[in-house]
Structure 1
Amino acid sequence: MQGETNLNAAQDVAVEATKAAPPIIVSGAMLFGMTPAEWVTALTVLYLLLQIGLLVPRYWAQFREWIGPNRPGAQ
C-alpha cells in the first residue's frame, strides 16, 4: 500500500500543477510586459512565419517537379 500512496500523491501534485498552469503562464507573460492578447498575436505571427518557411520550399519543389524537364528554358 505504501507505493500506491506515493503514486496517488504524485498524481495529485500533477493534477494540481496542471490546474495552476494557465494563471501562472498569464502572470509570467504579464511580467515580461506583454498582455495575453499581445502574446497571442506574437505567437500567431511566429506560427505563420514557420509555416511559410517550411511550406514554401516544399511547394516550390512540387511545382518544379510538376512542370517537369520539358518546361521552357530547361536544358
Structure 2
Amino acid sequence: MLSTKDMVKVMIVMFAICFFAKSDGQPIKSRSVGEIQLLHDMRQHLNTNERREWLQKLLQEVHFGASVVPNDDV
C-alpha cells in the first residue's frame, strides 16, 4: 500500500499532467483527412460484409424448386 507521502507525490504529478495538457475536455489532436477516410472505408467494408453474411444466411434457408425432379408418370 502507498504511504501518504507517495500518494501526495502521485497526486502532484497527476495534477501537473492535467494542468499542462490544457485539453479542457477537447481532443488534443484532431484527425487528419486520411484517418477519417480510413475509418469511413473500414465502416463501409464492415457494412458490406454484414450484408453479404445476411444474404448468404437467407439464401441457405431458401429451397429451390429446380432441385425437385417433376414426376411425369401422370
Bigger relative contact order, structure 1 or 2, given CA contacts below 8 A and separation 6+? 1
Superposition TM-score, scaled by structure 2 size: 0.48
Superposition TM-score, scaled by structure 1 size: 0.47
